[in-house]
Structure 1
C-alpha cells in the first residue's frame, strides 16, 4: 500500500511538472512564434488586390489592368447557397470553433497516420485567411503555429461574417479569378447572386486545387469534385435529397468570360495606365482604382471608324502589294490543314483584316482557309480593286482574273464585308485623330494609329511631324496683331530670293497656280504659299516664331527662317489641336487632359481634375496685343497698285498712309506680353480672378474671331462662288458653324486637317512612319483605268477623316450662332483692292475688322478708259 501511494504521488508530481513544463514550453513557443506577427486588426481595412478599370466619361469600360481579376462583394451580397457550399467543403464547424478546430486537427492526424500522407491540413477558413493575408505558403511546423495564433486573434477581432467574406473575396478560383464575384463571372458570365446550386457547388470545390479542378481544362475532374461538394452539402443537411439529385444531373455549362470591353480605345487606355503608374506605382494595378477618362463612347467609336475606313481606302487606292508570304509554290506538295492552321496561328486579325491561305485559284474564283478552319471564296468582285502596287505614285492596270492576283499556296489577308469576303492587306500608312473640347481641354476622342496590336506608338502624342499649311492661321493671326487685316492685299506671284554662295529659294504654290493680287482672307482660304511668305516678311520671322509660342507650340520645335511660313516646323497632332483650340475658344490657351477623376473600388473620389477653362463670358477688353504700336514691316509687302514685277526693291512697298494699316490703340493688360511678343504666363495667372481657374488669354478675342471666321471661308468660299477654299469638301456636313484648314507638306509626306465645330476641335494627321515616304498619287476612281492620278493631300486624304468623324458627332448638335465681339465691325469693301467700296455693287462685299483697323480710303472705279474716284474726279488711264 505504501508503495502504491508513493507511486501515485510520483505520478501526480510528474503530471503536474509535465503540465507546468508544457505550459512553460507552450508559452515560450507562443512568445517565440508570436514575435513580429502582424496586427490582425488591419484586416478591417484591408485592400484586396483588385485590377484597375479605365472607363469613359459615360461609364463604359475601356480596359482593365492587373494580374488578379477580382470583383469584391460585401457579406450581404454573397448568396446563402455559396456560403453553405463553401462551409460544407472547407470548414463544416466554422460557426462553432474559435479559429482553430481541434476536431479537424485530430481528424487530419488520424488520416495522416492511416494513409501515411498529410493530405489534409486541418486548417479552418480562418486559418486560410490568416495564411493568405499574412504568411507564406511554406509547409512547416513554425508556419502552422503562426497561422493558428493569427487565427485565434482574428476570431477575437472580427466577426464570422467578416472572416468568411474576406475568404470568399480573397481566395484563388483559377483562370486569374480571385474571389467569388470574379469566379462567377469568369466561369458563368453572371453575378454571384445569380448562381444556381450546381454552379455554387462547382465553384466551392475549386479553391482546394484551382488548376487540377479547372472546369475548362479538366471538365471530368471538375464534375467529380462538384458532385462531391453536393454530397457534403446533403450530408450536412444544407440541401434536400431532391435538390441533390437535380444538381448532380446538370451539366457543367461553363465558359471563359472576361470583362467585356465596351469599345476599343487602346491608345487612350495606355495613356491612362501610364498616368496611374506615374502617380501610384505598382499599386495602380492592385488597389482597385476606377479611372474615368474624358472620352465618350460615341466620339471614340466615330474616330475609330473614320480613321480606319479612310486609311483602308487610301491603301486600296494605291494598289495591292502582294501576299504576306508564299507557303508553297505551284507544282510543290500542298500543305495539309494542320500545317495551314499552324502557320495562321502566329498571326492575329487587325481591324477585322484576317490571315488566310489560298488552297485553290482559277480565273473566276479562289478558295482560302482562314484561321478558324473555315473555307472561304474570293470571286472577281473580291479582287477587282487589286491593281498592282508599283510605287507610291504608280499603280498597275485593273486585274483581269482572280488567279492573276492570288495563287495557290499564298498567305494573304481578307476582310468580310456583309456576306462576302474581300481580298485585303494590312495598311502601310498610319494616322492619328485628336478631338478636344476647346473650352476646357477635355479630350473627347483620341486614336494614335490604325491598330494598337500592330504598333503601340501613339502618333497622336508622340509623332512629331511637319505641320505644312496647317500653320498658316497662326501666322496670319500674328499678322493681324501687327496691323494687317483680312482685307489686306498681297501679291500671289512667284518669289525668288538668291543669297550669295547659296542656292536660290523659290517657294511655290501647290498647285503652282498664281492669281496676282489677292486679299489675305483668300490667301488663307486657298492656302497660297507665296502670300504666306510675303506675310512673314512683313511681320518678321522672329516675331512670327515667338508668336507661335502663344498657342502652346514648343520653342525648340519652331524653325526660325522663312520656311516657317510653309510649315517647316514640326509638332504632334495633340499640340496642333491645342493650338487650334485658341482660335476656336476666343483666344485662350487651354491644356488638354484625359483623366477626369479617380475613384476607389469601394467608392469615393480621390482625384478630380480641375481644368483651366476659356472665359468666354469675361469682359472683352482683356485682350492682348504686341504691347506697342508697331505695325508690319511694309517694305516687305508688295503694293498691288504697282507693277507685278516683284523683284524690284523700289516696287516692293506698301505705305501705311494707304489707309489699309493703322496702329492699334492702347489695349489694357499689355504688360502681360513680353518684349519678344510671347505671353508672360506667370503674370496672366496672377491677374486671374478668384473662382474658376481661367486659361491664359494669349490672343485677343477679336483676333481669334477674325481667324475663326476666315476658316469658315476655307469651307464655304465667297458668297458668289467666284473662289472656293481648300476645305470645300466639308460642305457635306451642311453646317455653317464649322471651319477648318488643310495642310500638306513638301512631297506630301504629312497631310493634315484641323477644324472646329460647336464645342469641339478636331485634328487629323495622316502619313507613313517612315519619314522618307510620300503619300504619292493614285487614281481617284480605282475601278477606271482612264481616271487621272491625283496627288494625295490634306484636302483629299486627311479631310475625309475629319468630315466622317464630325458628321457623326455633330449630327444632333444644333448649329451654334457666332457671337461677334463688340469691337468687331462689318464694313463694305471692294473685293479687288480691299479698300472701302464707293457704293454697293457687284464688287462690294462685307468684311470684318477690329474697330480702328478698317480702311479709310475708297477704291476707285473704272469707266471705260477712265477712272473716277469717290469725289467724282475723272482721269484717263492712258
Structure 2
C-alpha cells in the first residue's frame, strides 16, 4: 500500500510538473479570438443583411433622373429622363452579349450572383492597396447597386450588394438580369441603355446590324462614358475598344484574327454625322459631372436620381455663351472663325463658379477650353510667381526698386530673357515694371524672393508645376507649366478676396433619393497676408488704368487685372493671349488661341474685350465696392528716384513726389536731401577801391549750416567764371580792368554734399571814379542782358539783368504792375500755366545829379507752358524706353514675354506645345 501510495504521489507530482508548451497557448488564444471575431462578424453581417432593402421590381426597370439646380434653387437641367429605348434579350446579338460579358463579367452565366474567384483577387488587392482599390462586382451586383444601393465604398453596402445579388438570381433568370443591365446603364451623350446608344452613335435601331467593332465600343463605354465618348475622344475610344477585343480573345469569344480585323476600323467613319443635341449649359455641366465623380464616391449624375445643387448664374452663363457664339449681334470682333476661346467666371467672395464658356460656338462635342486646355499662361503668372511672393515673404513695397538694365542671362545656358519691347529703363518701381509687363524685373524679383517661397506661394493658389519643378522662366509664364482659365480665375480671385483661397467649385451639395446629403463645398484657407492681397490688387489696378491692360479698363468700376501673351522661338506673333482680372464681386479669366498651338494670333486683344464686356454686363445694376485697404498697409509719399525709398523734403518738387504702398512698419523713415536748398547769402555788396585797384566783396550769412561760399565773376558781357571757394564772408578781387563792368556772384555750398547749393546772389560794380559817375547828370544807361526764364521745379519766373552805371534802383513792371528793387534781379511767384508775362526794367538814379534821373527802359517776355497731357498714342518697338519719371502711354500691343531661347513644353493633344518658347507677355 505504501509503495502504491508513493507511486500515485509521484505520478501526481510528475503530472503537475508537465506544463503546456507556449505555442499551444498562442494557438489556443488565436483560435478563441477567431471564433469570437467570427461570431461578431457573423452577427454584424447578419445585421447588415437584415437591414438590406427589399428587391423592388419597379426600381429594376429604369434609372432615376437627376435634377440640376442653379444658385437660386431653380431646376435648369434634368438628366436621365429621356433618350431611352428598351430592348429585350432576344433582340441582343451574340457578339454584343460576348463583348459585354467578356468585359464586365466573364463567368456571368456560371456563377450564382457573386464570383468567388473575383472576390478572392479583389480581397488581395484591397489588402495590398487599400479598401476600394479593386472591385469584384458581377453584372448582377451592378444591377443591384444601381437599383437599390448608394455607390459608397463601404463594407456594409458590399455585403448587402452580395446578398441582394444572390436573391436577384433566385428570382430572375440570367437573361432577364442581363436585359436589366443593358437597359439601365448610361452610355454617354444622353443615351440610356444599349439600344439608344447604338442609335445615338451609329444610327442603328436594329442591334443585329452592329459590327464587332461597334459592339466592342458599346461594351467599353459604361466604364467612363464621358472619357470614351467617340464623338469627342475617338482616340481614347479606340484604345478602350482594343481592350475589349483583347478580353474577348482571352475568354474565347472571338479569334485573334477577328479581333485584328476589327481593330482596323476608323472610329469616326462609324459614327453619325452629327452628335446629339446637348442639355443646356453643357460646358458648366461638364464641371458638375467632374466634381460629383471626384467628391461623391461612385455617384452617377445620369442614373442615380440625384438632386445636385450648383452655383450656376444662368444670366451670366447665357451672356458668356452669347459672346462665344456666332450670332450677328455679338459685340466681340473675332478675326476669324477658327479662333478658339475659353472663359471662367467666379464669385470673388466665395470662389463659386458662376459661368463657364467652353469654346467658340458652345459646341458640347468640342474641346472645353475653360476646363481642359493646357497652355502657357504668359505674363499672367507674374503676380503669382514673382511679385506676389515678394510682397508676401520679403514685404517689398509697390515702390520697390528694380534695375531693368539689360537682358537677363539664364544661368547655365546661352539664352537670355529680354523685355518684350527690347528696351531697358534702368531703375524703376515694381509697380511700373508690372504694369508695363517687363520681363527682366520679373525674373530678378523671382531670384530675390527665391524659388522655394515662390513655388509654395503659387501652389497655394492652385498652380501645379511641370515635373514639380520651378525654373526662372516661370516668372514670366514661359515653361512647360500649363494652366486653364478656371485655374487662373481661382488664383486671381484670392488677390481680390483678402488672400483667402479655395478651389473653384460648381457643386455645393448632392442629395440622394434616400434623402442622404453629401456636402461638397470646399474649405477656404488664408494663403497669403491681407497686405499681399491688397498691394498686389493695387498694382494690378494700375496695370489696367495705365499699363498694358488699358483696353480692359472699365472707368465706372474698381477693377484689377493682368494681360498675358506667349510666343514661339521660331516665328513672330503670339499663339496664346490671356486676360485675368477681378472686382470685389466677380473674377474672370479668358484665354484665346487656336487648336493648332503653333498658329499665332492676328489679334491678341480679344481677351480684353471678352473680359470688359462680361464684367460690365455682370456689374450692371449692382453695387461694386472698392477694395478696402487693411490696417497692415500704409500709404506713404516717396521722392521719385530715391533708392532706397526716402520721404520727400520740403524742397522736393511736386512732380517728383509719388504715393506708394508699404507693409506697415517698412515705410521710409529717412528724408531725401536731393532737393534740399540752402539759404542764400544776404547783404551782398561789391565796391571798387581806386587806391588799390581792387574790388572788395562782402556778404552776410545767418544760417548755422556747414557751408562754404563759391564766388564767381563776370566782366562786361563775358561768361561767369568761378574765382574760388572760401569759408569767409568777404573776398578781394585784384587785377581789375579799368572802366570795366563787373558782376559778382556768391553761392552757398554744403560742405558735406556739394550738390546741395543755395540760389546765387549777385552784385554789380564798375571800375572807375564813382564821384564822376554820380555827379554827371543824365549818366544813367539802360540795363543790359535782361532775361526772364520760367523755373518749372519751383513754379517761378527768374528775372535777371546787368547794369553798368552810376548807383541806381530799378523800376520793374510786370504786365503793368510795378515795383522798385535795388538788386539786379527778382523772382515772380504764382505764375499761371499758359499765361504770357511782359517784364520792363527801368534804371532810376539815386545819388547827386542823377537822383531821380530815369534811364532807357528795356523789356522782355516769357510764356509759362501748359501742364503736359499724357500721351494717348500706342507704342511699338520704335518707342522710347519706358521711363517712370516721364511715363509714356503703354503700347497698344501687349507682347510681353521675350526670351532668346526656349525650352520645349509638354502637353496633351490638342494643347501640347512642343518647342514653345519663353518669349511671353
Shorter-chain TM-score tier = 0.3 to 0.5
- Greater percentage in helix: 1
Rg larger in structure: 2
- Greater percentage in strand: 2
Q: TM-score, normalised by structure 1?
A: 0.45
